[in-house]
Amino acid sequence: MYDSIIIGKGPAGISSAIYISRSNLKVLVIGKNETALNKAHVIENYYGFEKPITGEELFEKGIQQAKNQNIKVKNDEVIDIIWDNDKFIVKTVNSEYESKTVLLATGKSRNSAKIEGIKEFEGRGVSYCAICDGFFYRNKKIAVIGNGEYAIHEAKILKNVSEDVTIFTNGRELPQNRSIEITNFVEGKIDSIRGKEKASKIVLNDNTEYEIDGIFVAEGTASSIDFAKKLGIFLENNNIKVDENMQTNIPGIYAAGDCTGGLLQISKAVYEGTKSGLSIAKKLKNI
């Protein structure tokens, strides 16, 4: 079991890992290569670089710095975090790990799918959490909107409550090497979600209509907001709410960097990563 698992290998995640590891604790960083940093062509305002550096280079340097300090950094996608009695289980596309604490350092959350009706029917047939709300749709017609491993993971959970689960990719392709065989999927672009009291149909651009009882949105990679909704972590303006130790309202779950909102800058991500790392070390060592 790890002392801490960090989700995200950007400036916040790597900084936290360095402080946890230097406290002689067992830490694992799991992250993908999509980061805000890779979009930053030139960085000139971060301390210590006499010449501009590209975001991509800084990202790679951070990962290498951690590896040089014998910190394990895995390239993988986290699809679920589960609290199990006295530990967290972190599920990825390829494996699962146990940990005493978890840090969300997943960067700024993307917006939900921009589909007409999606916001209007939130909580009335549109959900973001299969494990929380799946039960309400047992033996019903369920749609999952998304086209990545996260959507497949949510569909798999929903298959436990209903055989009638369809993935709507909204005009995109499913991954070729997907982790489970999905038999029902619709690849057309979605025009809107419609209904009266609650969502009752998905309408495609070509006017094809699909009757549904419940829709689960699982776009792209699971974000801090998706994890928060599953675990009951408090949000504020769609950012993770943390206390002065970077801990969320769920003991043992911390957050740092862009996902907590405020200033979206590397220096702030490094600061919060550092602070979370020290807080996690203090908690685990009972200081």
Report the residue from 5, 6, 12, 240 that binds ligand FAD according to the rule CB under 6 A: 12
> Mask: binding to ligand FAD, 43-62, rule CB under 6 A, as x and -?
x-xx--------x-------
If the CB atoms of residues 144 and 202 are measured against ligand FAD, the closer one turns out to be: 144
Shortest Cβ distance from residue 75 to ligand FAD (Å)? 9
Bridge partners, 202 (sequence order):
193, 210
If the CB atoms of residues 30 and 158 are measured against ligand FAD, the closer one turns out to be: 30
SS3 of residue 12 by DSSP: helix
Q: Which amino acid is at 156?
A: K
If the CB atoms of residues 251 and 262 are measured against ligand FAD, the closer one turns out to be: 262
Shortest Cβ distance from residue 126 to ligand FAD (Å)? 21
Q: Which amino acid is at 35?
A: T
Q: Is residue 90 part of the contact set for ligand FAD (CB under 6 A)?
A: no
Say which DSSP state 284 is in: H
Judge residue 192's burial from the number of C-beta atoms within 10 Å of its C-beta, 0-12 exposed, 13-18 middle, 19 or more buried. Answer: middle
Residues 188, 175: Cα–Cα separation, whole Å: 16
The answer for residues whose C-beta is within 8 angstroms of residue 238's C-beta and 6 or more apart is 109, 225, 261
Residues 227, 182: Cα–Cα separation, whole Å: 23
Report the residue from 2, 3, 13, 169 that binds ligand FAD according to the rule CB under 6 A: 13
> Mask: binding to ligand FAD, 130-159, rule CB under 6 A, as x and -?
------------------------------
Q: Which amino acid is at 111?
A: N
Applying CB under 6 A, which residues contact ligand FAD? 7-13, 30-32, 34-37, 39-40, 43, 45-46, 55, 77-78, 105-107, 221-223, 257-258, 264-267, 269
